[in-house]
Structure formats: structure tokens, C-alpha cells
Structure 1
Amino acid sequence: MRLENIVWEARDPRRLGSFWAAALDADPLTDEADLFDARVRVADEVFLDLCFPRVAEPSHSRSRLHPDLRGVRQAEVVEHLLGLGAVHADVGQGDESWVVLADPEGNPFCVMDEREVFRDSGPIAALPMQSADPDRDARFWASIIGWVPCPSSGDMPALRHPAGVGPLLELCPEAGPKVGKNRLHVNVRPTGDDDLVDQLPAMGACPVGGDTDLPWRVFTDPSGNEFCVLDA
């Protein structure tokens, strides 16, 4: 499978999607009343799509997934983002080397200081995901999306596209048990003759909901983080 999308629940897809497209220099794909999509191209065959579907009431739970942006010139990146509509945020980070901001709908994200592990990441340095068992969940995600272990920005397991480019998927020890629904999640898409979908429960994923006519199926990973499996 391919990790294809990062999805933000949005009250105003055009406003939120336009912010992130400008922040990440992403190419808009769709601009509809209820959906905004944009693409971050990292390499010829490596990309991530940013999806902003309209949701009447986005989750109020603290998200266990957020983007860390690459800050080659951190202060300049922060000023650019503030000019686009971001604001400073305090999530209890204390005196750290990264800067925490929130997007126009209040979703927190970080602007990282420059590090060697981010050299080929593109504009998104990492996708930290909270986990009840980081080593277990790193194995789970590696088996699904085919990403490989790599050095992380801290003391945590991390995965990266086998081409060695794009953001890190970092599995971070959770701050506490998962409560409610994540406001951000990822989507994966089967490729070729992929038959992993039916194997996901045996690998530790849990199906969410029954059969639907939607072109995706919802699962949670072993730590309860939602993700969707799109049609091939």
C-alpha cells in the first residue's frame, strides 16, 4: 500500500486548505465547496496529498497526529506562516528548539529547527504519531506501507519511504490513552495486486463501522489511531 493522504477535518475546506497549500507550496488539485485537495511533490514518484473535507463539527479531541514542518531558516519560516494566518500556540512544549503554531482552525503543528535527518524530507519534516507501543506500531506501519526504519529526530522509532525522501513517520510514546477521534489521520491506497486489506485485522488493525457504499474503509491501528484504506 501507499501512504497517500494526510486528512484534516475542516469547517471551511477552502480556507484551511488554501493555508496549507501556501504553507507547503503544494499544488491545488480540487477546490470544491466541501473538499479542498492539494499535492506536495517530494520526488518524481513520491508525493503526499493534503485533503480537507468539510465536517460539520470537527473532533474536539487532542489530535495524536500532526505535521512537523522543515525550518531551514526557522525564524523566516515562522514569520511566513504567521503572515498566512497561523498563530503561536502553547501545548506545554516548554523551552524547546522547535516552534509550535496553530493553523486557522486551531490545529497545532511544529516548525522544526534544521537537522540532518530532515535533509531530503521536503516541506514536511515529519509526521509524529502517538503510540501506546512505538516499536510495535512501527512494525505495523512498515508492514502496511512498505516504509523502512530510519534515524528519527529524537529517541523514537521512525520510518521513511524506501526512496530515502519525504517526511519521517515517527512513532512517539503517547501522552495518555486515546480519547475520542483524531482530527487528523492518514489514508493509504492499495497498489498493484495488493491483498493486505483483508489481512489488516490479523496484523492488529481494527475495522470501524460496517459495510458502506463509500470508496474507502476505516480502520484503527493497534494504538487506536484512525486511518482509511482507499479503493485501489
Structure 2
Amino acid sequence: MTQSKTTRSYLSAAERRAEIADAAARIGIEEGLERITLRRVAESVGVRPGLISHYYPEAEGLVATAFVHATDDESDALFVHDETRAPVERMADFLARAFSPESAELSRLWLNARNLSRYNGALRQALTAQETANRRRLMALVSEGVEAGEFRCDDIERSVILILILVDSLTAYANEERSDATPLVAPVVYATTERELGLAPGALGGHTAEVETRSASTHSEAPAS
């Protein structure tokens, strides 16, 4: 215990700020953004509340930081840029991840953030910034597909907004059992995305199966001894 406190005392300002943001993000995901208080985060990190307020004077700013911290990781997972994979494959990856069981926690976080942002200006700005960033990343992917001749899309921005709205529709079911809603929502999203990008019906569904198979085989592999 003494060693842990000694180690903590030597954290740099950047490391301490990152530690606090990570703790706040975990609380937001597991308990809800409204549970992020200076005292609650201090308990999680194992320090006095005064240290938290030194880096984040207001709880509103800490809530916004926690949301960005959590959703940055989500966006990186959704928009993996792998130059060895064609745009159509990466679009299939994007949809597969968006409808994966792992995304359920983040869907609840987004729903929570949208409700809470009505009363938290800092969170509202962070929410808008994250939505804009996701739209730009998906537009970049679609643009790349159009340039490569894989997608046919007359209005990229309109198509991207429509796709994101449909993907985001699953958030409405975030507090329910995702397995019940996904079979109803997913086919509509896949069919609409394929139509908007000029793809044949089922073009993205086939790649989705490959992604799921590849993911399952990766998790089942034992680490090399």
C-alpha cells in the first residue's frame, strides 16, 4: 500500500491527468455520467478530492473529458484504417463493430450523454465534436471507396449522415436487451448502406461474416509459450 502511494506521488502532471480521465471514463461507462463527481473519482483513483479539483476544477468539465476519453477509443475501433483492406471490407468492419455486443456499453454512454448534455454545456460541446469527428471519418472512408471505384455515391455527405442516423438508431434500445433489437434494426442499416453506396444486396453482409469468423478465431488462439 505504501509503495502504491509512493508511486502515485511521482506521476507527472500529464500522467495524473490521464489517470483521472481514465477513472472518470470507467465510472461513466459502468455507472453513468451523472455519477462522475470529484469525490467519486478521487475514491476511484485513491487520492483526495482536492487533487482532482486541481486538474479539473469543475465536475462538468470532468464529465465532458470522461465522455471524450471513452468515445475516442470507440471511434478508433470503429474506423480502423488498414491500407491492406479495401474500402468495402472496412465498411463491413465498421457495421460489424457497430452492431457487436461490445458496443452496447458505449451505446448506453452516448444515450446518457445526449440526455445529460441538455444541462451540461461542456458535455454538449464534446458531444457535438465527437459526432462531427465520426462523420468526417466515415466520409473519408466513403470518399476513398468512391475514388477506388468500389462505391457509387452521388452525395457522399448525405449518404454518410443517413448511415450514421440509422446506425445510431440502435442507441434508442441501449437500455434494453440489444439481442432483441439488433435483428430488427441491422437488416435495415445494411440494406440502406448497400443501396446508398451502390453495392449489391448482401455485399456487406458477406464481409461481416468474415469479420466475425476472423474475430472468433483470433480470440480462440492461445498465446504462444
Q: Larger strand proportion, structure 1 or 2? A: 1
**Which is greater in Rg?**
2
Give the number of the structure with larger relative contact order, counting CA–CA contacts within 8 Å between residues 6 or more apart. Answer: 1
Q: Give the structure-2-normalised TM-score.
A: 0.25
